[in-house]
Amino acid sequence: MEISESIFWMGNRLATNCVEISKDPADLSKPGFWVVVNTFEGDWFCARFTDVQDAPLPISPWAGIDGKWHSSQSQTSYEANVHQIKELIAKGEIYQVNLCRVLSNDCDQSLLGLANLLQKSNPAPYASYLSLPGLEIASASPELFLQRSGDQIKSTPIKGTALEDNFGEKDKAENVMIVDLMRNDFGAICQPGSIDVPRLLASESHPGLFHLVSDITGVLKSNQSWQEILTALLPAGSISGAPKSSAIKVISQIEKNERGPYCGVIGWIENNQALLSVGIRIFWSKQDGQINFGTGAGITWQSDPNSEWEETELKAKRLISIADGVKV
């Protein structure tokens, strides 16, 4: 496809007429409406669009997917990796790690039709669709990575997933741990004394499940570029672990494949305004005849390996069924 054929949609904003694609986050400080994807591994896709309007997602059909989904980790491997992480926790090398796997299947359709179906069957507060040369994403993300208005910023990490509105001590402890991590990340870019947690351990209802969330807010220091801001915050604490640097190292050693845009960031930046989601509950394709979907769970000392596997199944079940064309 040509650059000019690229489109982006999020929050009822439709962007067309892409005129520039960059791999350099320094370009995000240039004027204009920029669509941003940062992969978990740190690769950047920055696309500048000139036509932005309030509009619904363009309509497109979806025929469903035939065939079996293949997981990057079997249940046996995943549970063994949970044990391995718990051993590292026992040694004091790590406190929490988000362990993920990627499901893949054959697909030669545009994901625009799937994005339409997700909007109907699994509406999400930070849903989006993106089509660029070599990358297509249909997102039903429930998680806010960063909202900016002027010098005010906010993040709402998710830690805790359940079928019912009833969260255990593991979920609460994990959520507080990530809130502390995010407060520390905000500390590098926010004015002293401005960081607050106005909402802690709140339950949110989403299609098919409940999430435990918290809000972190702050006021940015003066004269910081977008590259400086995002470098301080990426990757998101909720999908990496704590301490973050140690968690990233463990993830790179244990997981057998790249996450790509899954667990990355997807959204838009326009001067000193921004809305960026965490790349969870997303389908993506490199336009190579394959569709991918990621799922994961946060591993702590209290984790039961089978329960963590079941959490990844819970997070994937509804959306995979939608992609398969099964009514939910």
CA triplet 123, 128, 133: central angle to 5 degrees?
Answer: 145
Contacts (Cβ under 8 Å, ≥6 apart) of 249: none
Q: Is residue 159 annotated as a catalytic residue, yes or no?
A: yes
Question: Using omega within 30 degrees of 0 as the cis cutoff, is the peptide bond preceding 133 cis?
Answer: no
Going by their DSSP bridges, the two strands 44-54 and 13-22 should be labelled as antiparallel
Q: 3-state SS string over 104-168?
A: EEECCCCCHHHHHHHHHHCCCCEEEEEEECCEEEEEEECCEEEEEECCEEEEECEEEEECCCCCC
Q: Pick the catalytic residue from 136, 143, 255, 308.
A: 143
CB 219 within 8 A of CB 152: yes
- The rounded distance, in Å, linking the Cα atoms of 89 and 107 is 39
Q: Pick the catalytic residue from 86, 159, 244, 315.
A: 159
Q: Which two tokens stand for residue 122?
A: 């699994």
- The rounded distance, in Å, linking the Cα atoms of 183 and 196 is 8
- Which residues belong to the active site? 143, 159
